[in-house]
Structure 1
């Protein structure tokens, strides 16, 4: 019996080792978020330990020498599932037949730059990348946009890739989701895996609404509503929200650099959930196309909702009761997104 089981295991290992490599693109690949991200992807934390990967690394021409160093490091990691690394500054190479795209690179806001100037610069970038997705990528490609303003950049990329389903595009609000989980966990004196179903509504900006009205905390084996576990409404409606909203700025102030490590972890969480699905009875936060939702969010936005994922397809968790406090917060972040969208679409049409 043992011999038979051993033989079956060896056959399964042989079959899995023959799996076709998937092509995974990371843009802004010479940057610090990618530096924290690429190792996790290449060692199997995202797409599985037995899934061979071809990593395509896209960046702008001045960053190619840095990218060469990143390639050398990936080679030196001697990772068994990493079959090839392709550094490039050409979209026709980067987007060719890709299965997954992680769009990290964007124009950062510089001192003295107005928000509309930031939007204009990023519309140009994500219009080009969306068109490249449309022309070169597989129509099944899963795209996550990280570069800020992430929601609106994601919308522009989607609109510029009309042959790829809108449902294939999402933007990263998982970092905010993870931050909210961590704050609740620390407040309750438990590990973060004992907290589930927090929600980030809206924009990945300071107007986002971290909501724990539907969250649960496991306290000594008993699942308890977060509000009941914490017993401090003033904190939950005040400092908790502002801490999550302003966490990125706080990290920059302390570290003098952006939150690359936690962002990379959140990207891995986000894409792994797309690939393998969410746990039964749990939902996560993800910026997705707002259409036909039950929360009266304007359509034609990329808005962060609670979602459940199965078979690589997300579905908004509809029908959660929303109180007046939450309604006001959700509407405020939606209004910001509408303004961003309208400004960006003006630039897109120029």
Structure 2
């Protein structure tokens, strides 16, 4: 049973409710039968109470994991063994009138990776009036190690995007949700690792090529954009600064701007220069923002995982008319504090011309 799936969460909720009731009923039956109250009985009661407490703690963990996307599998939680790239599920992501989603297996590209990619198509994609239209594309990158469907669900993407399109505030577009983790459980920080996974190429080449081959989308860089949450925000900024020929605009939600290295990444870089070349902050300071490109930095002052580096990036880009910022005063590093910003982010991409003019 999947650690991140709704089935386990539902099961544990039922157990948390049923276990105390079962324990109380068992104690009453035992008391009526006049069973002994010796050491064994006391140990049994203690174990029953501890079991109920452990279930409550596990439920708290599952609810937090569902909200924040800390772990996507048992292997990711325990650090034991290796996963295949996490499967993508489209179950329950969109309702009637909110377009449709497809799962595409991307393989055989320059990176050598194979993984499922979630693609959202607005309802206009299947309408006769748009039969000849080539749609703009927005790539949406999840946090690490969050699943793409978790980000889609937490941001209520299908409903929000449909509402913005149908209101006329945003032109119809196709959204592509690729996973970042192509060598699980390793966090690559979307980096081409020497003799290792080519995670940057996966996002720069494999996913766009597969999208162009499969769907009726534009190949013009001016109609391709990228956004992401947390590690996905880091990767979005990195993609804009390293691949301006593919992406015209990027929005980083709760992102950071220097690679984070820990036990989940292992050794990603051979030297300091290589690490700097994979740092959006360093790339901006040495090369600037490519001409005709736009960058949006979003963070909260109480988001301790994003704000310190966002503050440095804001200072570095100050005065650049094509770098925009949105800072909120309260709230930490979680989906709840960022998901309500999605309509404004889509509106920003529209204003920058990333979705075309109709």
Greater share of residues in strand: 1
TM-score by length of 1: 0.31
TM-score by length of 2: 0.31
Greater share of residues in helix: 1
Rg bigger for which structure?
A: 2
